Structure 1
Amino acid sequence: MTAPACLDALEPRLPSPLVGVVDERLARWGVELLLKRDDLIHPRIPGNKYRKLRLNVQAAIDGGHRTLLTFGGAYSNHLRATAAAGRLLGFHTVGVVRGAELADRPLNPSLARAAEDGMRLHFIDRATYRRKTEPDVVAGLERRFGRFYLVPEGGSNAAAATGCADLGRELRGVADVVTVACGTGGTLAGLAAGLDHGTQRAVGFPVLKGGGFLDGEIQRLQQAAFGGRRGDWRLDTRFHCGGYARITPELREFADEFAERHGLNPDLTYVAKMLYGTYALAAEGAFAPGTRVAAVITG
């Protein structure tokens, strides 16, 4: 096996495109919407997944690693992106999946795609999964799979936050407010740090029920990556629609209407919830007339 190549060898489309949206509802509220199309960075490793993986992959190369091991649920986009990166760049990949019972079931499309890209799937019970970063659990994984570079769940660590700061820098001077969906908090941590402090702010929409805990996680990530809290950011926890991967009729109706109006079919787990929240804030008057909002389409 030859040495793995850096993600930059994949020739990503950077900066990602910024597309204006014409919508009479937003115009009525005095808001201009731009879509930051991070989903178009790379066909196999889109959006925040590329930004979060780039410096982690470089660290793995610098450390002489040939295997990436990471964690995720049954429908994890992160597992699928890591598997794709591994196949394209020459890494072995291991995905530790939450839920031992899933081992006896047919693979869903997300896990099947990861397996097709060469990822070894290892299913563990939920109690052990909650302890996944503890030394004894990691040591057991090393005994089973050999030496690996550990990428955390969702890819969120200091390297990921540092990589996502480029997203904020790409949006300097083009928007007053930036909105983004939040799963583990790494994207918002970096995005906010990269924005122009004092003139721009970010709003994150957790897709998990009870997502307020991400406030502490984001501050922890910013401390690790930048030495302290960076940027003007906040969370709005109202738009999880019942929890991760939960979908309400109202959300589906909004997503279908958005697709019909603007030709973009938003992912229901992350992007649709973020857009739904963005429109709701505009309707509530949270944005002053004349505000330019950039919504990050993460993929």
Structure 2
Amino acid sequence: MTVSRLRPRLPSPLEAVVDERFERHGVRLLLKRDDLIHPDLPGNKWRKLALNLEAAAGRPVLTFGGAYSNHLRATAAAGRLLGFATTGVVRGDELAERPLNPSLARCAADGMRLVFVARSTYRAKDDPAVLAELLRDAPPGTYVVPEGGSNALAVRGCLELGRELAEAPVDVAAVACGTGGTLAGLAAGLGTEQRALGVPVLRGGFLGAAVEELQEAALGGRRGAWSLDERFHFGGYARTDPALDAFARDFEARHGLVVERLYVAKMLYGLLALAEEGAFPSGTRLAAVITGSGDGSNVRALTGEGDRRGE
């Protein structure tokens, strides 16, 4: 099986935008439109899944995510488009008794078998005994992709994102982070004079170690200049608030871009706050990686899972 027959749009476009809020601080904003790579597997989901799906070679795939996981949706869509079976292990067994939200309903419509597990089980999903139990009811030969798709293959897939930006007029490349695989690859692929900035969308302070572990597994050690700013998670994964939503609506009106709320909005909000703080020297060319499409199906405010881990 080859995922190239899905005809991804690569390299993704790099678009300069005029935004006086950044320009008054001497920052030129560019948007790396990874959301345009593929309508069903946009952004970093394509980059992280492509090599994993090649490795699966048409076998059934089992993976993990929360109730609003973009990763689960992308995996389910890939299964529908390429003709392999998918299983999604969903955090929270209480969700089994509730109507499916739009994200999980899309997964089910694409043929994904949803398995709801207790949060304690989900936290232990990397334990061999727990994983073996989860695989017991899965189709024979099932290939396992980790939460968020982040593993060594995903990092290598995201290297191409950094390489696409390495020759571009970019000083800093910023990306929203859930499990760290995109940042790990992006940073490694950038040029020596460029740096990567990760904006975690979860609270917990665990992501720096996760990125280092992913780079070690994929590339043999830490690569590239990268850092994290962990102030812009808005309470945790899948949480937003009215201020973030107002910012996203304003950005949409200014630039004609529908802003995905759970990742992209938090990153853009954080970048503007950093520009206002003077974190970027005057003349900085700042590329914001638009990792997902803002179709509105995974937007919610104030309440939600807010767990330590996410997609």
- State the TM-score bracket (shorter-chain normalisation): over 0.9
- Where do 1:134-283 residues align within 5 Å? 134-145=127-138, 146-174=140-168, 175-197=170-192, 199-210=193-204, 212-283=205-276
Matches within 5 A, 1:31-42: 31-42=27-38
- Is 1:98 matched up with 2:98? no
Query: Is residue 2:122 matched to residue 1:129?
Result: yes
- Within the candidate set 8, 20, 23, 2:19 is matched to 23
Cα distance, 1:181 vs. partner?
0.2
Supply the distance in 2 between the matched residues of 1:72 and 1:272 (Cα, whole angstroms): 20
**Number of aligned residue pairs:** 290
Give the C-alpha shift of residue 141 in structure 1: 2.2
Deviation at 1:173, TM superposition (A): 2.9
Task: Please give the alpha-carbon distance, in whole angstroms, between the structure 1 residues aligned to 2:127 and 2:289.
Answer: 33
Q: CA offsets per residue over residues 99-139 of structure 1, 9 Å max, x none?
A: 11111111111001011111000111111111112111121
| CA deviations over 1:7-58 (Å, ceiling 9, x no partner) | 1110100000111110112111111000000000000000000000011011
The aligned counterpart of 2:302 is none
Percent identity over the alignment? 68
Q: Please give the TM-score of this superposition, normalised by the length of structure 1.
A: 0.95
Question: SS at the partner of 2:206?
Answer: helix
In the alignment, the residues of structure 2 paired with residue 142 and residue 49 of structure 1 have an alpha-carbon distance, to the nearest angstrom, of 23
CA distance in 2 between counterparts of 1:120 and 1:279 reads 40
Cα RMSD after superposing both structures: 0.9
Q: Which runs of 5+ in 2 are unaligned?
A: 293-311
CA distance in 2, matches of 1:179, 1:142: 36
**Other structure's SS at 1:196 match:** coil
User: Aligned partner of 1:177: which letter?
Assistant: V
Aligned to 2:305: none
Matches within 5 A, 1:274-293: 274-293=267-286
Does 2:83 correspond to 1:87? no
Please say if 1:14 is aligned against 2:7.
no
Alignment of 1:107-118 (within 5 A): 107-118=100-111
Using the TM superposition, give the Cα deviation of residue 142 of structure 1 relative to its aligned residue in structure 2, in angstroms: 2.4
| CA distance in 2: counterparts of 1:208 and 1:155, whole angstroms | 16
Residue type matched to 1:52 in 2? K
Helix, strand or coil: the match of 1:270? helix
Equivalent residue of 2:126, what SS? coil
**Distance in 1, Cα, partners of 2:117 & 2:236:** 22
Aligned AA for 2:142? Answer: F
SS of 2:22's equivalent? Answer: helix
Return the offset for 1:246: 1.3
